[in-house]
Amino acid sequence: MILVVDVGNSRIKAAVFEENKILEIFIFTKIELEKKIENILKKFQKLADLVISSVGDVDKQAFLAFASVVNVNFISNTNAFPFENKYSTPKTLGIDRMVLAAGAVLTFPNQNRLVIDAGTCVTYDFIDKENNYLGGAIAPGIRLRYESLHNYTAKLPFLTLEHPKDLIGNSTPDSIHSGVVNGLVYEIDGFITDYKSRYSNFIIILTGGDTDFLAKRLKNTIFANSNFLLESLNQTFQYKIKND
């Protein structure tokens, strides 16, 4: 039994796995981390490994405090991965992007894959059918787009996510919702269309906190799974055990 923990920019997601089956998912803040992990370990007393992937600013000691009751494993770019990293600056590639790429390779073999992670940032990661990681793109996520319109203008209000009433916003709030949501949807569809023009035998994987909201609006056919990073983290750890 394994507990995987993904420390993101704005929140932490965790899941307990029995082999490849998710038993329970947890979402919490960085402040809650130690108490939440303690409670999970008490609830699932057969947990053998704690596996962490982190792009956030959580101190490793917060996890190492549990080393007496569970094996603590940090996934890093020095581990074995099931792809060839062709990024021109491989050491700067975020571990979350590497884990997603690993999950795409292990879940969808012998295909070209584009992984789109819609969270605080929207990341695009492309791995070809020969298992070469080629790179992708990074863009602001939905929340950052709303925040930037408010923070870097004098009068625009700070809004939270809503479905646009119409393409044509006939008020300032409606215009902001249309611009943020439709702008991101057009961006994602545009990326997918351009990748498809270059590559065949193609699968698009959409994941991240805004998966369900965006999946309903995209024109392209996608594989939508908001838990794909957690599943990929579990798979990456299994691959690490066999290949490190």
Q: The domain that contains 150 carries what CATH number? A: 3.30.420.40
Q: How sure is the predictor about 96, in pLDDT bands with cuts at 50, 70 and 90?
A: very high
- pLDDT digits 0-9 by tens, 27-42: 998 889 999 999 999 9
pTM for the full model?
0.91
pLDDT at 13: 93
Same-domain status, 204 and 109: yes
Same-domain status, 129 and 186: yes
Q: Alpha carbon 112 to chain centroid distance?
A: 19
Same-domain status, 103 and 178: yes
Same-domain status, 54 and 109: no
Same-domain status, 167 and 119: yes
Domain edge (last residue) among 74, 104, 136: 74
Helix and strand totals (H; E) in the chain:
8, 11
Task: Please choose, from the candidates 87, 94, 85, the residue with its C-alpha nearest in 3D space to the C-alpha of residue 117.
Answer: 94
Same-domain status, 102 and 215: yes
Residue 169 is assigned to a structural domain of this protein = yes
The answer to whether the CB of 202 falls within 8 A of the CB of 195 is yes
Q: How sure is the predictor about 242, in pLDDT bands with cuts at 50, 70 and 90?
A: confident
Confidence check: pLDDT of 244 > 80? no
Residue 241 is assigned to a structural domain of this protein = no
Residue 143 belongs to domain spanning: 84-234
Same-domain status, 90 and 191: yes
Residue 242 is assigned to a structural domain of this protein = no
Q: At what angle do helices 183-198 and 142-151 cross, to 10 degrees?
A: 130
Domain edge (last residue) among 47, 74, 101: 74
Helix, strand, or coil (residue 61):
helix
Query: Which residues are within 8 A (CB) of 71 and not within 5 positions of it... i.e. 6 or more apart?
Result: 48, 49, 50
Confidence check: pLDDT of 192 > 90? yes
Same-domain status, 188 and 103: yes
Confidence check: pLDDT of 207 > 90? yes
Same-domain status, 101 and 164: yes
pLDDT at 171: 95
Same-domain status, 118 and 213: yes
Confidence check: pLDDT of 55 > 80? no
Q: How many domains in the chain?
A: 2
- pLDDT digits 0-9 by tens, 143-162: 999 999 999 999 999 999 99
pLDDT at 9: 80
> What residues act catalytically?
96
- pLDDT digits 0-9 by tens, 57-84: 788 888 898 999 999 999 998 889 999 9
